[in-house]
Amino acid sequence: MPQIVIPVKNLTTTPEPVTCANCQACCCQLEVRIVTDTGVPFHYIEYDKWGSEVMKRADDGWCQALDRNTLMCSIYENRPLVCREFEMASDECITERELGGL
C-alpha cells in the first residue's frame, strides 16, 4: 500500500505587529467628533446634522488632516481627544484593519 503524505500547515501564524511604518491609517476613515479643545485648526472642523463639531472628511471619506504621502496626521500635536485615545494595535485598531482588508 502506498504511503500517503499529508502536508503540514502552520496554524499558528502571528500577524506582523502594527507600527507607524505599517499602520495604513485605517482609523482615519472613522467619524471623529470633537468633544474637547485640543487646538484642532478651524479649517479641519465642520458640523454634523446635529450641530456637533466633527473632523472634516475628504470626498473619499478619509480625514482631511491625514497626510496622504506619509499616512500620518498632519496636526498630530493638536489632534482630537478621540484620536489621542485610539491606541495603535488595540482591539479596535485591529478590527478596523481587518475591515480595511489588512
Q: Where in the chain are the domains?
A: 24-100
Position 62 scores a pLDDT of 93
Rounded to an integer, what distance in angstroms lies between the CA atom of residue 38 and that of residue 19? Answer: 24
Each residue's pLDDT tens digit, 65-97: 999 998 889 999 999 999 999 888 888 888 888
d(CA 30, CA 77): 19
**Taking the model in full, what pTM does it have?**
0.74
Q: Return the pLDDT at 1.
A: 63
Residue 51 neighbours by CB under 8 Å, 6+ apart: none
* Residue 12 confidence (pLDDT): 55
Q: Confirm if 19 and 97 have CB atoms less than 8 A apart.
A: no
pLDDT digits (tens, 9 = 90+) for 27-58: 899 999 999 999 999 999 999 999 999 999 99
**Residue 18: predicted pLDDT:** 80
Do strands 53-55 and 45-47 pair parallel, antiparallel, or not at all (unpaired)?
antiparallel
